[in-house]
């Protein structure tokens, strides 16, 4: 009997469900991984502390720079698709060794994003319940957030995508409505101080850019749905590009509006613990504060779900290539989800932040520490994909000077937030976090080389799988399939 294309293969090792997710559902994965609703509440005030009237410009620069990175990613996304995300792309460009290193960096990035946003979900849950100082309630809320995300991710990727889509759409529209109310209150005036960058230096913009870039990390996670998307060679590149441009416009609008709105408020934007609530109260729509808190909590949950989905699919691909235990590469026979990888990721996304909180670290500090480690993972992978793109295009004889230019500018752009995170040397414990990330990355690299030493055929196996996957899409993409 012929199997429906929307049903998983009923072999000994089931696969993910192909041709299953529409473009909006694929887009929802990347948007939710960014968690745009959290940025106006948490990150824009921090960017303002560095960039002042140049906050909107820092976000515009970040959006433009990461658009170039998305063009590098899409050189691969338009030609091949898999659950391995940028791990597979970089392996095709720079070889399996670089691919596996990037795959492990991505797992760290998505896992630590999940741990950070679990804390964010618990924090907003505490705000809504009025139990802000209770460690026990925080741990319970973290368990609820991670547990619900595990259940949804385990059940069905379409359920995950649709839930993330509606959560983010609702919360973003609510915040945009507040922004329109604030702009109306100010008569849609042109804020000359912002447009002329009054009092803003190049160093202010550089420092603000570091944090602004952090608001976008995870925009590429739609690439992890390559095995499950409908028409992936078209839907995934559109989702990657849209996940920079749409949130970029949103962040620029909110940065401009928040700075303008706080002109008539006694506290400054970077000193207010609840800037959106304060703006709502000042605009005589105080009930928006509660609604936005609900939206923020749900947005953090959507980000937990997106991070678990992305991390589990990269673990799934690594397992299928023999890098980690073969059980992690199993897909559920009925749900067609990487259920073992999902369960492992969900457990860690709860256990790690709880371990940090139990040590006495505050909620906001824990969020910042874990999120910083995640960001190092993303920056390393973005730099590698920007190197891999022109190398790959040269191999398939499609390299043009513009591709080299995009790659070079992307790398130079990415070095700004990377260098800004390292120098000037930040205060403890931020000065130690890069070494923590490197230790985690090194552990994965050492494990891979030990496996390679024991199984010399490992690299050849990965290369054969990459060629097989690429050949599957070469006719559709217009590529000649085999690298020269």
**Per-residue pLDDT tens digits for 420-477:** 888 888 889 999 999 999 999 999 999 999 999 999 999 998 888 877 766 666 555 5
Residue that is written with structure tokens 């619900």 in the block:
148
Q: What φ, ψ does residue 364 adopt, rounded to 5°?
A: -70, -40
Between CA 466 and CA 100 the distance in angstroms is 12
**Per-residue pLDDT tens digits for 155-187:** 999 999 999 999 999 999 999 999 999 999 999
Give the CA distances from residue 218 to residues 108, 227, 476, in Å, rounded to whole numbers and listed in that order.
Answer: 12, 18, 27
Which stretches of the chain score pLDDT less than 50? 1-12, 479-484
For the chain, give the percent of residues with pLDDT over 90: 81
Residue 212's pLDDT is 93
Spatial CB neighbours of 123, under 8 Å, sequence gap ≥ 6: 132, 138, 363, 364, 367
Contact by Cβ (8 Å): 448, 100: yes
- CATH number for domain 23-477, candidates 1.20.900.10, 3.30.1490.100, 1.20.1740.10, 3.90.79.10: 1.20.1740.10
Residue that is written with structure tokens 């991390």 in the block:
311
Name residue 229's beta-bridge partners: 21
Residue 179's pLDDT is 96
Residue 230's pLDDT is 96
190 SS3 class: coil
Looking from the CA of 227 toward its CB, the CA atoms found within 13 Å total 25
Between CA 143 and CA 347 the distance in angstroms is 9
**Which class for 464: exposed (0-12), middle (13-18), buried (19 or more C-beta within 10 A)?**
exposed
For the chain, give the percent of residues with pLDDT over 70: 94
Residue 210's pLDDT is 87
Between CA 433 and CA 425 the distance in angstroms is 11
């Amino acid at each position: 009997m012929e199997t429906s294309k929307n049903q998983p293969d009923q072999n000994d090792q089931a696969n993910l469900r192909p041709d299953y997710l529409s473009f909006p559902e694929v887009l929802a994965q990347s948007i939710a991984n960014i968690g745009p609703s959290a940025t106006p509440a948490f990150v824009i005030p921090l960017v303002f502390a560095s960039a002042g009237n140049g906050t909107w410009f820092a976000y515009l620069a970040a959006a433009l720079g990461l658009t170039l990175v998305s063009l590098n990613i899409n050189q691969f996304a338009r030609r091949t698709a898999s659950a391995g995300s940028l791990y597979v792309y970089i392996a095709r460009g720079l070889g399996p060794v670089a691919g596996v290193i990037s795959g492990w960096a991505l797992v760290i990035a998505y896992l630590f994003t999940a741990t950070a946003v679990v804390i964010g979900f618990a924090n907003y849950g505490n705000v809504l319940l009025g139990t802000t100082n209770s460690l026990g309630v925080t741990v319970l809320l973290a368990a609820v957030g991670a547990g619900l995300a595990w259940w949804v991710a385990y059940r069905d990727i379409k359920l995950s995508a649709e839930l993330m889509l509606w959560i983010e759409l609702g919360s973003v529209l609510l915040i945009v409505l507040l922004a329109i109310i604030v702009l109306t209150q100010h008569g849609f005036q042109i804020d000359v101080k912002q447009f002329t960058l009054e009092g803003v230096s190049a160093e202010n913009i550089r420092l603000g850019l570091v944090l602004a870039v952090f608001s976008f990390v995870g925009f590429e996670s739609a690439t992890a749905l390559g095995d499950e998307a409908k028409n992936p060679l078209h839907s995934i590149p559109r989702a990657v590009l849209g996940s920079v441009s749409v949130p970029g416009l949103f962040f620029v609008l909110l940065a401009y509006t928040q700075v303008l709105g706080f002109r008539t408020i006694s506290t400054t934007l970077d000193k207010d613990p609840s800037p959106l609530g304060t703006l709502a109260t000042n605009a005589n729509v105080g009930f928006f504060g509660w609604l936005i808190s609900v939206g923020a909590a749900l947005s953090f949950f959507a980000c937990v779900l997106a991070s678990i989905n992305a991390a589990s699919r990269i673990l799934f691909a690594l397992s299928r290539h023999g890098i980690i235990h073969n059980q992690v590469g199993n897909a559920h026979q009925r749900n067609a989800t990487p259920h073992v990888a999902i369960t492992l990721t969900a457990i860690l996304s709860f256990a790690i932040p709880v371990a940090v909180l139990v040590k006495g670290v505050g909620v906001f500090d824990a969020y910042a520490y874990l999120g910083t480690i995640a960001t190092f993972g993303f920056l390393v992978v973005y730099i590698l994909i920007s190197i891999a793109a022109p190398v790959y295009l040269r191999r398939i004889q499609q390299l043009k000077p513009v591709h080299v230019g995009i790659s070079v500018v992307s790398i130079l752009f990415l070095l700004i937030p990377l260098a800004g995170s390292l120098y000037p040397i930040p205060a403890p414990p931020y000065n130690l976090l890069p070494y923590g990330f490197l230790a985690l990355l090194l552990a994965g690299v050492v494990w891979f080389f030990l496996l390679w030493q024991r199984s010399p055929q490992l690299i050849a196996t990965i290369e054969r799988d990459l060629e097989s996957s690429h050949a599957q899409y070469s006719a559709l993409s217009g590529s000649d399939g085999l690298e020269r």
